[in-house]
Structure 1
Amino acid sequence: MATTRISYTLPPNIDATKAPLAFGSRALPKLNRELNDDTLITRQRALMTLCDLVHDPEKVYESIGVGQLCVLKKLLSDADSTVRHKSTEVLYIMATHNVGRNAFLDYKVILPVAKLFDDNVDIVRKNAHQALKMLSEIPAGAAGIVSANLIPKLVNKLKIEIDEIKELILDTLHFCMRVDAENALKSGVMPVLTELLDHSDPSVRGAAARDMMDVSVTLAGKEAACEDASIVPLLVRLLTDVDASVKSSAAGALMTIAITTKGKYAAIRAGAIPSLLKLVNASSSETRLYGIKALTMLSEAPEGRKTLLEFVDEIKDREDDPESAAVARAAQTALKVITWKP
């Protein structure tokens, strides 16, 4: 029988860990006030609610309009680890939207986020790196990270971070080195990447090989790769890796390094040709492309051309690659170089 007793149990659709959301246009301004509240639990609950809202790009736009980005910057230095955790999570989700990435640059959020690279809580550091990794995916974002002089710090963190975060740093460096590879080279990225080429995690190995290709785009990077006698043999070994993406990135790195004469002979001495020939018929079009282009570089050396003349038919099969026009063009170029006669 129904009674007039009032229940203290919350309705089933109420989450006690989240701040109640006001109706319509009042929702985000109310959350903004709660984010500024002196009471810790109020800030935490507001952040929990905001994490759900910013998955919608329209809400990201609205939250920027009411000044929440400025409040989040302040919360990044909060004494409470949960507040820092959820603040970085909100910023990371915002950075998945273009409007959020542009706001990062407009409101100068890069350096406040980067300060959390030194946080003692793993999830806070991970969210901070995820946010900047997403930002680096647009050219202006990568340029902003480079301008903030964060490449040396990213390289140093690459030496000591946990594997999960190392992969994020490698991704961020990948985009930043397209803007300024020489900065990374001067910051000592080459020895760090060399060590990671031998990592047990295939994702880290592949990302390190890809970054090795990025840093070797410059002449200084190619020379540095040849000066260290261990780099080219390590990349050649990765051509037979069990992971397809690792093989592709290793072939790309060798292709870039072998543009110079030193790089060609270093790869030939390390026995790259037999392994690269196996990639000509790889299932991935990217792997085939890098493999054929690397063979083209090696065939420019007389020793490489002499060896590859015996395998012309294998490359000729790729002249009409049904999946990739780029692979077909690369095969045609390779055949011209291999069969060239003075």
Structure 2
Amino acid sequence: MTGVHLDPTRAPVAFGRLAIPELFARLEEADTDTKLRALLSLCDVTHDPERLYQVVSEGFLGQLEVLMKDDEPAVRTRTCELLHLLTSHDIGRHSLLSSSPLLSRLSLLLDDPSVPCRTRAHRVINSLVLLPAGAATLQPLLAKLMAKLEEEEEEEEVQALLLSTLNCCSRQDALAALAHHGVTLIARKLPHACSDIRREAAGAMMALSVPVEGKRQVCEAAVLPVLAGLLRDQDVDVQANAAGAIMNTVVITTGKHQCLDLDVLPVLLALVSERRKDGEEEKRRKALVLYSLRALTSLAEAPEGRRRLLEQLPVLVGRSQAPKDDPDICKAARTAVSVVTWKP
């Protein structure tokens, strides 16, 4: 008869609905190894939505807040991993957002001396702000998150998560982020060597450039030359976010003049005219092409922009009439053509 294999890194799991209460009972023991084994088992069983619902509906979140204060970094880290699993379902996210003590403790872990703990705390925060309600609830953290952008020693994953969180918060309330010097702080991350960080920074800059005040700050902080450089990035998502930020900024006159002086038109036209044989890759480029077309449309509102674009009109016409093109792209191209060819 084959013996039952027991994983020494995990606590035994009881059958059925007894599993969650018994594992949480083990978390109350003083021994660190016992708590770690229980947390690992909890992480395993909460992949089951029924068990996850049991965790949040039967009052166990209070124990997790206590564990976030534990002296052992590994316990704090595993607790954040469990919280991150809870955010994979709507009921878990809403339960965490409705718990002020837990969110307050989680915000303190963003400064935890343990890098793995800090990273996992950022993952939890990032999962929560993906919901509009989460981005609104966590707005009080904005000043702290902005300040952390200046901590260059942070791991690249933490920086990318931080920028992603700021992106979500800025889409919810760009003016609040702008009031905390968001444009200046995020602009420093745009040339970063890590593509994930460049992508998230450009995405956050696109969110910040939606209001007029954001467009003005992008122009004043000389961010457009950096964004123009990112249009040539190897990562299509970095290119798309940079094009989106330019699209937003060239709505105002100063943005138009700066982009025309930077000679961005040929780059945008090249992005619009470029086609990929790979259908999936072309779908990934849809946002990039749309943002580029809309940026060109705004630039055509300036006399100099219209003059230059009239010389390249066949590129836009060709994109507007391509039978196999995406309908949204064709429509944006037709709008660009109508603005370029408009006569008073």
Fold-level similarity (TM above 0.5): yes
Residue 67 (structure 2) aligns with = 75
Contact conserved, 1:28 with 1:66, CA < 8 A, in 2?
Answer: no
Distance 1:11 1:187, change over 3 A: farther
> For residue 49 of structure 2, what is the amino acid of its counterpart?
P
Moved runs in structure 1, 4+ residues, more than 4 A?
Answer: none
Residue 225 (structure 2) aligns with = 233
Alignment root-mean-square deviation, CA = 1.6
> For residue 69 of structure 1, what is the amino acid of its counterpart?
L
Contact conserved, 1:32 with 1:66, CA < 8 A, in 2?
Answer: no
Q: What does 1:106-255 correspond to in 2, within 5 Å?
A: 106-108=98-100, 109-146=102-139, 149-160=140-151, 161-229=154-222, 231-255=223-247
Tell me how far apart the structure 2 counterparts of residues 50 and 34 of structure 1 sit (CA, whole Å): 11
Residue 327 (structure 2) aligns with = 325
Contact conserved, 1:299 with 1:337, CA < 8 A, in 2?
Answer: yes
Contact conserved, 2:183 with 2:221, CA < 8 A, in 1?
Answer: no
CA-to-aligned-CA distance 1:241-281 (integer Å, 9 cap, x gap): 12211111111110001010011111111111011111103
Contact conserved, 1:85 with 1:124, CA < 8 A, in 2?
Answer: yes
1:18 aligned counterpart, secondary structure: coil
Tell me how far apart the structure 1 counterparts of residues 242 and 206 of structure 2 sit (CA, whole Å): 8
CA-to-aligned-CA distance 1:201-231 (integer Å, 9 cap, x gap): 12211211111110011111111111123x1
Unmatched runs of 5 consecutive residues or more in structure 2:
275-281
**Identity of paired residues, percent?**
37
Residue 12 of structure 1 deviates from its aligned partner by: 5.2
Residue 269 (structure 1) aligns with = 261
Unmatched runs of 5 consecutive residues or more in structure 1:
3-9
Tell me how far apart the structure 1 counterparts of residues 202 and 97 of structure 2 sit (CA, whole Å): 30
> For residue 81 of structure 1, what is the amino acid of its counterpart?
P
How many corresponding residue pairs? 331
Residue 11 of structure 1 deviates from its aligned partner by: 4.8
Distance 1:303 1:100, change over 3 A: same
Residue 87 (structure 2) aligns with = 95
Contact conserved, 1:213 with 1:252, CA < 8 A, in 2?
Answer: yes
> For residue 163 of structure 1, what is the amino acid of its counterpart?
E
The TM-score with structure 1 as length reference comes to 0.93
Contact conserved, 1:225 with 1:232, CA < 8 A, in 2?
Answer: yes
Residue 323 of structure 1 deviates from its aligned partner by: 4.4
Residue 7 (structure 1) aligns with = none
Tell me how far apart the structure 1 counterparts of residues 129 and 116 of structure 2 sit (CA, whole Å): 20
Distance 1:281 1:110, change over 3 A: farther
